[in-house]
Amino acid sequence: MSHTFRVPLCMLLSMLLFGVATAQNQTLSPELKAIDELVKWQKESFDAPGMAVGIIKNGEVYYTGAHGVQGIGTQAPLTTKSLFHMASVSKPFVATAMVQLMEQGKLSLDDKLIDHLPYFSMADKRYKKITLAQMLNHSSGIPNVQDYEWDKPQYDDGAAERYSKSFTEENLDFKPGSRFSYSNAAFDILCDVIAKASGMTFEDYMQQYIFEPVGMVNSTFYKPDVPESLATQPHVLGDEMSRVVSEIYPYNRKHAGSSTLHSNVEDMLLWAEVNLNKGIINGKRIYEESSYDLLTSPQVRVNDRRNVGLSWFLSNLKVNKLVFHSGGDTGYSTLFGFFPDTQSAVVLMLNIDGFQSENGAGVIMANSLFGDSLSLKPPVHYKLKDYVLEEDFEKVKQVYYEERDRDPQRYQTDPEWFDDLGYLLMDRGYPEKALECFQFMVELEPDYAGWYDSVGDAYVALDNTQLAIEWYRKALEIKPDQQFTIDKLEKLLGK
């Protein structure tokens, strides 16, 4: 592990450039030790091979920590220089590039997509109305990606343009600008916009206009540039419900904008400085303050607790404005968030998928910045997965009841976690075990229609159409307008 405490951000860049040792051997204060213990506890509770965290408090680097290994396949120790696939934390970088190009006079956010990519077309003619701003705030109507084809990665310079040209048979999900719907595809298409507006590849633009001026010396959007010594491995839940190295790596150049940033704690803390200082780092302005306002001002309402600006999600932790983006792909979970009013930030990276990165980092932020208690509990299925294949289901229920009734509780024990466990089991070829999970949920909450629907799904997986129909009908007796159940039932009945 490595630690850095209360180091001004300007000094951090000097240390990275000139190799000055950080204070990793200092004795931790009780406050910082509590943070360090929380990071280690979350890593262990969520069965993560490695977890790295960086925290800025009042404009200074307050804590950095790296626990575990880069991968169980290599056993190389994880450090704050280890590079993680950052998944959707990539998107604010795309948005930043777009406002830079706006400042350079090469585009306007009110421009239509087809102004810059005249070859882009869809079966739904409303595509001609899509603006660049709508793509950045997830209101374009462009459907989300269904298959990233991680198993068929593309690496060549033509990947972005080919992807932009691949929508000719697609329809929009809704009228552009009419509502929010998260779209990875929109950000992937924006890579092509950036390339055409700048006259260079998306990856080269990001290197020249963001990474180099910021000082993010190890960051890249191009996976082949990741040094083997700094590379982490993605981990997933294997067929036996234990963590294994993923057979595929989540990289495909045609999805560069939505998912392919690779970075580490040290570089992401420099990214935090840029955003906390509204575009300035080491006396250099990366983007204008007016662009910061565009990036971080509410544009579209997501739900009662959240809005979206240009890529950034906007919320509050207590009374403090939080600007953030989380990420999750095969084998990785990440989060980056900052508090402009208190000059604070947190970055969190794990080389596993399925970690609740928003809630996990949220508790770290709340505790470290506002003095809250260490209260995050992992879902109970993280423990039950160790019993469900090896033991009779009565043993699983026994462990569940023990954890539910423990005071204080160590796990979240809402019945919904059995739903997650059941679908994990179905995906791995254990429909009988999944059925036991779903039936137990019905036992726990007999008035909730969703669990009856899950039982029906298990019977579909078991090729028992008649029982599936019976359970879908039971779900609809409780909630007649449950549309996803109606759709499944009609499909089975041939309607």
Helix (H, G, I), strand (E, B) or coil at 476: helix
Shared domain for 356 and 250, answered yes or no, is: yes
Query: Which residues touch 241 (CB under 8 Å, ≥6 apart)?
Result: 385, 386, 388, 389, 424, 425, 428
Shared domain for 393 and 245, answered yes or no, is: no
Shared domain for 274 and 297, answered yes or no, is: yes
Using a pLDDT cut of 90, give the percent of the chain over it. Answer: 78
Of 376, 395, 424, the last residue of a domain is: 376
Shared domain for 259 and 402, answered yes or no, is: no
Shared domain for 116 and 217, answered yes or no, is: yes
Structure tokens at 342: 């208190």
Check residue 177 and give left, alpha or beta (phi > 0: left; psi -120 to 50: alpha): left
| Closest to 61 measured CA to CA, from 358, 341, 347 | 347
Cis amide leading into 408 (omega within 30): yes
Of 318, 353, 376, the last residue of a domain is: 376
Q: What CA–CA distance (Å, rounded) separates 314 from 324?
A: 7
Average pLDDT over residues 457-468: 98
Q: What CA–CA distance (Å, rounded) separates 226 from 219?
A: 8
Domain count within the chain: 2
Average pLDDT over residues 464-475: 98
Shared domain for 52 and 82, answered yes or no, is: yes
Question: Do 184 and 144 meet the contact criterion of CB atoms below 8 Å apart?
Answer: yes
Band of pLDDT at residue 319, cut at 50, 70 and 90: confident
pLDDT of residue 13 exceeding 50, the answer is no
Shared domain for 352 and 412, answered yes or no, is: no
Question: Do 165 and 158 meet the contact criterion of CB atoms below 8 Å apart?
Answer: no
Shared domain for 117 and 9, answered yes or no, is: yes
Residue 109 CA: distances (Å) to CA of 98, 102, 477: 8, 7, 49
pLDDT of 28? 74
pLDDT in tens, 432-442: 999 999 999 99
> From the CB of residue 476, how many other CB atoms can be counted at a distance below 10 Å?
17
Of 323, 358, 376, the last residue of a domain is: 376
pLDDT of 472? 98
Straight-line distance from the first to the last Cα atom of the chain, in angstroms, rounded to the nearest whole number: 59
pLDDT in tens, 77-116: 999 999 999 999 999 999 999 999 999 999 999 999 999 9
Q: What is the CATH number of the domain that holds 254?
A: 3.40.710.10
Shared domain for 356 and 482, answered yes or no, is: no
| Closest to 348 measured CA to CA, from 43, 47, 95 | 43
Range of the domain at 357: 1-376
Element (H, E) at 94: helix 91-103
Band of pLDDT at residue 484, cut at 50, 70 and 90: very high
- Kindly tell me the burial class for residue 25, based on how many C-beta atoms sit within 10 Å of its own C-beta (0-12, 13-18, 19 or more): exposed
25: amino acid identity, one letter:
N
Report the interhelical angle of 449-461 vs 416-427 (nearest 10°). 10
Strand partners, 236: 244
| Mean pLDDT (the chain, rounded) | 90
Using a pLDDT cut of 70, give the percent of the chain over it. Answer: 90
pLDDT of residue 375 exceeding 60, the answer is no
The residue with tokens 């204008």 is 288
Which of 10-19, 38-47, 301-310 is modeled with the greatest confidence?
301-310
Q: What CA–CA distance (Å, rounded) separates 301 from 309?
A: 9
Structure tokens at 361: 């980092």
DSSP assignment, residue 109? T
Structure tokens at 284: 């250099």
pLDDT of 29? 83
pLDDT of 362? 64
Average pLDDT over residues 319-344: 93
Structure tokens at 398: 């026994």
DSSP assignment, residue 72? T
Q: What is the CATH number of the domain that holds 451?
A: 1.25.40.10
Q: What CA–CA distance (Å, rounded) separates 94 from 194?
A: 8
Shared domain for 160 and 288, answered yes or no, is: yes
Question: Do 35 and 55 meet the contact criterion of CB atoms below 8 Å apart?
Answer: yes
Shared domain for 323 and 422, answered yes or no, is: no
Q: What CA–CA distance (Å, rounded) separates 217 from 17?
A: 9
| Closest to 397 measured CA to CA, from 424, 422, 418 | 418
pLDDT of residue 21 exceeding 60, the answer is no
| pLDDT top residue among 225 and 316 | 225
DSSP assignment, residue 207? I
Least confident of 1-5, 162-166, 221-225: 1-5
pLDDT of 3? 40
Strands 243-245 vs 235-237: parallel, antiparallel or unpaired? antiparallel
| pLDDT top residue among 239 and 188 | 188
pLDDT of 373? 54
Shared domain for 354 and 431, answered yes or no, is: no
pLDDT of 37? 87
Query: Which residues touch 396 (CB under 8 Å, ≥6 apart)?
Result: 384, 387, 388, 436
Band of pLDDT at residue 45, cut at 50, 70 and 90: confident
Q: What CA–CA distance (Å, rounded) separates 116 from 195?
A: 10
Structure tokens at 235: 């981990």
